[in-house]
Amino acid sequence: MYQFGFIGVGNMGGALAAAVCKNCEPSAVCLSNRTREKAEALAKKLGCRTGTNGEAADSDYVFLGVKPQTLPELFSELTPVLKENFERGRRCILVTMAAGVTMEAVEKMSGVPSPVIRIMPNTPLAVGEGMILYTANAAVTEGELSRFTAALSGTGRLDRLEEAEIDAASVLSGCGPAFAFLFADALSAAGEELGLSSEKARLYAEQMLLGSSRLALESGKDLKELTRAVCSPGGTTIEGVKRFEEEGLNAIVSHAVNASYRRTLELAGKEPDGV
- Look up residue 5 and give its amino acid: G
- Tell me if 119 is assigned to a ligand binding site: no
Strand pairing class (49-50; 130-136): unpaired
- Look up residue 173 and give its amino acid: S
- Tell me if 11 is assigned to a ligand binding site: yes
Cα(50)–Cα(202) distance, rounded to whole angstroms?
39
3-state secondary structure of 34: coil
DSSP secondary structure letters along 119-187 = EE--GGGGGT-EEEEEEE-TTS-HHHHHHHHHHTTTSEEEEE--HHHHHHHHIIIIIHHHHHHHHHHHH
Cα(190)–Cα(188) distance, rounded to whole angstroms?
5
Query: Residues forming the annotated binding site for NADPH?
Result: 53
- Known binding-site residues for NADP(+) equal 7-12
For the annotated binding site, the residues are: 7-12, 53
